[in-house]
Amino acid sequence: MSDARDDPDTFWIEPEQRAILPLDGFKLSKSLTKTIRQDRFRVTSDTAFARVIATCAESREDRQDTWINPDIEDAFCELHERGHAHSVECWVGDELVGGLYGMAMGRAFFGESMFSRATDASKVALAWLVARLKIGGFMLLDCQFITDHLQSLGAIEISQVEYLVHLEEALGRDFQVSVVFSESPAALAGDSGAGASVAGDWGALDGFLVSCAASTSEDFSSSSSPGKVILQALTQIS
């Protein structure tokens, strides 16, 4: 993190209390369920990563400054190019109205920041993220710090000790943090020895959506829009 957008210094933070969102604990309100079912937003992944992080770094009325300085932005864009950092985008037509980004390592996803320019856009992006992680076999969604917004969607706070237990399970005992600088995303699977963790599959949801669409085209009595598939994933897949 950085203290301000124009601060050249970047530092690491290890909070005593950590926010995570249990993948089976995402809270769906009636209004959010309706928004997702109606496919009010077109949702994509990794199609506008640089725009998402740049928008997250912009000042807002309720937040005049940001912790995302140019060095952090450049680093994450490079991680994205190497296949380690990902984004989820919400669109209305060709307008980017919401999104989030973060980094995947092993079977953990570390959420960094999100933004919303339309009602419920960031909530929908988070719902799609949780569904993507569940279908992809991830185990941990790290939200870093608790906020009222995240708490309303199911995020909880746990101690640093408990967090490290979850982290070790998601990464595997033999996991080397240095692999994030590897050219190959496959390196995120860790070593093949005892204690290693199989990497989560970020792209599994895309194949799942395609297969659902194909099944629907063969059975005209059923209807499986992307939003309905996401709701099924959030409520049925564990």
Segments making up each domain of the chain, as ranges: 17-236
Q: Which residues of 4-18 are buried (b: 16+ CB within 10 A; e: fewer)?
A: ebeeeeeeeeeeeeb
How many Cβ atoms from other residues are within 10 Å of residue 217's Cβ? Answer: 10
Q: Can you give the pLDDT of all 238 residues of the chain as single tens digits? A: 665 666 666 667 788 999 999 999 999 999 999 999 999 999 999 999 999 999 999 876 655 567 788 899 999 999 999 999 999 999 999 999 999 999 999 999 999 999 999 999 999 999 999 999 999 999 999 999 999 999 999 999 999 999 999 999 999 865 554 433 334 444 444 444 444 458 999 999 999 999 888 876 655 444 579 999 999 999 875 4
pLDDT at 13: 77
Distance CA 102, CA 170 (A): 16
Give yes or no for a contact between 106 and 189, defined as CB atoms under 8 angstroms apart: yes
- State residue 191's pLDDT score: 44
Q: How far apart are CA 169 and CA 82, in angstroms?
A: 24
The DSSP bridge pattern shows strands 108-116 and 140-144 to be parallel
Q: Residue 108: phi, psi to the nearest 5?
A: -120, 145
pLDDT at 198: 80
Is-contact 30 159, C-beta < 8 A? no
- The answer regarding whether domain 17-236 maps to CATH 3.40.630.70 reads yes
**Angle (CA) 85 178 14, round 5°:** 75
- Which residues are paired to 144 by β-bridges? 19
Length of the chain in residues, anyone?
Answer: 238
Strands (E), the chain: 17-20, 42-45, 85-92, 95-105, 108-116, 140-144, 156-159
Whole-structure pTM value: 0.85
Cα→Cα distances 9→14, 57, 114, Å: 17, 16, 22
> Rounded to an integer, what distance in angstroms lies between the CA atom of residue 222 and that of residue 111?
35
Angle, CA of 54, 52 and 225, to the nearest 5°: 170
Distance CA 130, CA 232 (A): 12
